[in-house]
Amino acid sequence: MVRRHLRRILLTALVLGCLLAVAGGWLGLRGWQAAGHLENAASLARELSQQVLDGQTGQARRTLEALQQQTAAARSRTGDVGWRAAGSAPYAGRNMSAVHELAVGVDDLSRRAFPALVELNPQTLLPSSGRLDLAALRGAMPALAEADSAVREVRDRILTVPTTGLVPTVRDAVSQLRAELDRLAEVTSAVRRSGALLPTLLGGNGTRTYLAVFQNLAEPRATGGIFGAYAVIQAGKGEVKLVKQGPATDLDAYGKPPLPLSKELRALYTDLPGIYPADVNLTPHFPTAATLIREMYRRAGGGTVDGVLATDPVALSYLLKAIGPVPVPGHPTLTAPTVVRTLLSDTYRRLGKPAQQDNYFAASARAVFDALLKRPVNPRAVAQAVNTAVAERRILFWSAHESEQRELVETRLAGALPEQESVHNVGVFLNDGSGAKLGYYLHRSAELTVGDCKADGSRELHLRLTLRSSAPSSGLTASVRGLAMSGDPYTARVLVSVFSPVRGSPLGARLDGKAKPMGGGVERGRRVGVLAVDIGPGQTRVLEVGLLTPPKASGAVELWLTPGPTPWTARVSSAPACGQ
């Protein structure tokens, strides 16, 4: 009897084991098939992106159809009764549920977001012969808004997928999709904002006038460089034209600021931002600089403008890659590889008088502007150039109209220093203190590392900033040597401002290994440490600054850096949030 009972138990166990093995094999097969469909979908999505940007609508439609077949198959493979039942099992169930969420998210994107992007003609967002088709842009708006909403919904859903207990392959897939969705959301949000704002910005409801300023990176300021040449741009019914140009020296200096400066600003920068046009952007907060230069332009007799646009020679180099070389009558042709050197170095050797230099800068700006508006261009190349420039904060825009500025303020285009943040921002902003044009020779690198958690959940951040000068020790023109306020006309004096995260603070500084006191202040809820660093020809200086985050800090950090003639070498080492 006992033997019969034991045999029954063993037989039952064998049958169950066989069933579980079959089920496991079936689920494994389904998982393998789902993975194959998702991999195919990823490949098709890359093709689709390029076809959309290249304006290949017919090919993009066929690619989208194939993509939707793959995502639907992945969703089906991971959504039947057996898969859902297995998803409730411990350990393995977490992974199966996560894969299902990935498949659902990608399928939703292919059906709700991608169709609108496929049907969007990229030329709709670009002017042709100096004019933008506002009716076509308005017509595309509903579909663009739906695509943006779909991307955000999928992104929010994938953010809720737990990653603890996942096998590395699935956890990496979740992380990669989150990163891709963040990038996609930036694109769809930018396109949606463009579609919503451009008709009004370009004079669809009445003529608009904008002040465009060209930042001279040879003399650093927090947003990039001093405002040198300017232009006035007029837009009406989608047509854009340049109506006036001049040097910033046309604008008057003031005995007192034309607009009131806050006590915080005056404590950090004195009254300089409100006195000299070249100093309005000692602050990194572009809306402050824009409102000041707008008022200075108005008081100089230029009239009231609807907004301020800023750009620099590096942004021009990106555009020249897209539109090709641009001749400037009587001067060297501007090309992508050489335009930065041409404008920030060669000009000062070739043209000795400041008035000649200013005229050349104005002529260069007009030539590139005309080429961009009138030449047939590849929309994908122009989009890439603009995206790169905006990401590096080399194109900034402020609108005098509050409703428009509210739409812009959370984007990099606004250049706004946020007073609230979910990711801790550390700012490293450079201002010239030598009254010279030695910034062209300045090379910069920065490394930011997140330290351990303290008892209150705050964290110490470690910033290492390296500045090197490649300036010669002789032979520079008087225009470059400038006022030589460092005491040596070939030594650059750089005022380094380190901005803490919101409600954080700088802890102390070491320059070349030696402790150095920093000046300080507060701007927009951030404590600021300031130190003057002199850098001679061929010299390298290393500044190390400790910073403290507020309590209960996440381990996510970002660096905001003053754009320069060459890209920063930057590295950020984040860490898990305290308690994880």
Query: Domain locations in the chain?
Result: 24-197, 208-402, 421-573
Q: How far apart are the C-alpha atoms of 366 and 377, rounded to whole Å?
A: 17
Q: Residue type for 546, please?
A: G
pLDDT of residue 446: 97
DSSP structural state of residue 206: B
Among all chains, which residue has been given the structure tokens 């920065």?
446
Under CATH, what is the fold of the domain 421-573?
Answer: Immunoglobulin-like (2.60.40)
CB atoms within 10 A of CB 1: 5
Question: What are the helix (H) ranges across 125-201?
Answer: 134-159, 168-201
pLDDT of residue 43: 75
pLDDT of residue 11: 36
CB-CB contact of 527 with 505 (8 Å): yes
Provide the sign of the torsion angle of the four alpha carbons 293, 233, 209, 318, taken in this order: negative
pLDDT of residue 27: 35
Report the half-sphere exposure of 47 (CA within 13 A, side-chain side): 16
pLDDT of residue 81: 53
Provide the sign of the torsion angle of the four alpha carbons 218, 221, 222, 228, taken in this order: negative
Structure tokens at 125: 């967002």
Q: What architecture is the 208-402 domain classified under in CATH?
A: 3-Layer(aba) Sandwich (3.40)
Residues in the chain with pLDDT < 50?
Answer: 1-32
pLDDT of residue 325: 96
pLDDT tens string 35-83: 667 777 777 777 777 777 676 888 888 988 988 888 888 788 776 655 6
Q: How far apart are the C-alpha atoms of 406 and 292, rounded to whole Å?
A: 19
pLDDT tens string 519-576: 989 999 999 999 999 999 999 999 999 999 988 767 788 999 999 999 899 999 888 7
- Nearest CA to 371 out of 357, 354, 351, 385 is that of 385
Percentage of the chain exceeding pLDDT 70 = 88
